[in-house]
């Protein structure tokens, strides 16, 4: 199950939805794949690998936000 491309977060300043950037998109897609693996009864190693990729994507989002908030460095 892939997350629809138009889906975003509702916390944008305008109160609407914003498009997801690359790391956020990868995190949501990875979560969807991990849940699908669990629902399909696939092995835990596949699910763990997806969750590891999600963690890396979430860390990239956090780092980018921190760099932006700190003024670029």
- Give the pLDDT score at 73: 55
Task: State the pLDDT at residue 18.
Answer: 57
Query: 7 and 17 in contact (C-beta within 8 Å)?
Result: yes
pLDDT one digit per residue (tens) for the chain, 73 residues: 444 544 444 444 544 455 667 777 877 887 888 788 777 777 778 778 878 888 888 888 888 888 887 876 5
User: What is the pLDDT, as a whole number, of residue 45?
Assistant: 81
Angle at 20 between CA 36 and CA 32, to 5 degrees: 5
**71: Cα separation from own chain's centroid:** 24
From the list 69, 62, 72, the residue with the least C-alpha distance to 27 is 62
């Amino acid at each position: 199950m892939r997350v629809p491309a138009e889906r975003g977060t509702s916390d944008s300043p305008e109160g609407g939805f914003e498009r997801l950037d690359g790391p956020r998109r990868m995190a949501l897609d990875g979560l969807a794949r991990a849940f699908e693996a669990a629902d399909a009864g696939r092995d835990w190693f596949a699910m763990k690998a997806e969750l590891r990729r999600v963690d890396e994507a979430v860390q990239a989002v956090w780092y980018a936000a921190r760099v932006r908030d700190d003024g670029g460095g």
